[in-house]
Chain A
Amino acid sequence: RKEVEQDPGPFNVPEGATVAFNCTYSNSASQSFFWYRQDCRKEPKLLMSVYSSGNEDGRFTAQLNRASQYISLLIRDSKLSDSATYLCVVKREYGNKLVFGAGTILRVKS
């Protein structure tokens, strides 16, 4: 079993839709959690950190459920420019190692 698992998608949604991605992690000692975004043939970029109490940044909401070991990302009012691969990232408690999920592909269509 991979340490970080995501549904690869693709998720094909119309503009304006709300879409949610889930991610599960297997290491209960994981300390920090992030969502990164990667556009085609580009480098990954931090979208948002995920905090225990949940956090929101504009149209994006991230949630963490430590008991069930999953993280979610909700995107409201999808834009064409949201089309990308969304990477779930987990940082272990010890060592400077971030483990990436394989990513979920989102395609927003007009």
Chain B
Amino acid sequence: DTAVSQTPKYLVTQMGNDKSIKCEQNLGHDTMYWYKQDSKKFLKIMFSYNNKELIINETVPNRFSPKSPDKAHLNLHINSLELGDSAVYFCASSQERGPPNNSPLHFGNGTRLTVT
């Protein structure tokens, strides 16, 4: 009955590879996000989708491509991985339109990506 689940939990790969992280939420939320938390623990938003529509796309290399097949899923594909991509990637969801207002973010438990 996990609310926001992402897989895999750990991902170790070599530079230049392509990898994907999957995320699913069963909360019925209309908005999903990808956040990156680097080694300094700073949590930064990468993308946000509302009902499958991209609404936030921060300054992220275009090697990162989100895909939302439906409003309960938001996957992240990363091409040509680099050392600097090593971080923890968190998926999250919230309800942004209609009640309840001020819906908090619900995070998945993170994917720890290590690029060697």
Measuring CB to CB, which residues of chain A are less than 8 angstroms from any residue of chain B?
32, 34, 36, 38, 42-46, 49, 85, 87, 95-100, 102-103
Which A residues are CB-close (under 8 A) to B40? 102
How many residues on the B side are at the interface (Cβ–Cβ under 8 A)? 22
CB <8 Å contact, B107 and A43: yes
Given contacts A32-B102, A100-B44, 15 further A-B contacts (CB under 8 A): A42-B110, A43-B109, A44-B43, A44-B105, A46-B104, A46-B105, A49-B104, A87-B43, A96-B31, A96-B96, A98-B105, A100-B35, A100-B43, A102-B40, A103-B41
Q: Contact between B55 and A96 (Cβ–Cβ < 8 Å)? A: yes
A3 smallest CB distance to B (angstroms): 11
A95 contacts across to B, CB distance below 8 A: 55-56
In angstroms, Cα B38 to Cα A103, docked, is 13
CB distance from A89 to the nearest CB of B (A): 8
Residues on B with beta carbons closer than 8 Å to the beta carbon of A46: 104-105
Chain B residues at the A interface, C-beta cutoff of 8 Å = 31, 35, 40-45, 48, 50, 55-56, 90, 94, 96, 102, 104-105, 107-110
The binding surface of chain A is classed by DSSP as strand
Indicate if the CB atoms of B41 and A96 lie closer than 8 Å: no
Shortest CB-to-CB span from A62 to chain B, Å, is 14
- CB-based contact A100/B42 at 8 Å: yes
A91 to chain B, nearest CB (A): 8
The 4 closest A-B pairs by CB, nearest first: A43-B107, A46-B104, A100-B43, A96-B96
Q: Do residues A96 and B56 form an inter-chain contact, with CB atoms below 8 A?
A: yes
Beta-carbon contact of B41 and A85 below 8 Å: yes
A sample of 7 inter-chain contacts (CB < 8 A) reads A38-B41, A49-B102, A87-B43, A96-B31, A98-B45, A100-B42, A100-B43
Residues of B within 8 A of A42 (CB): 109-110
Query: Which of B31, B90, B102 has the most chain A CB atoms closer than 10 A to its own CB?
Result: B102
A96 neighbours in B (Cβ, 8 Å): 31, 48, 50, 55-56, 94, 96
Q: Which residues of B contact A103 (CB under 8 A)?
A: 41
Contacts of B45 in A (CB 8 A): 97-99
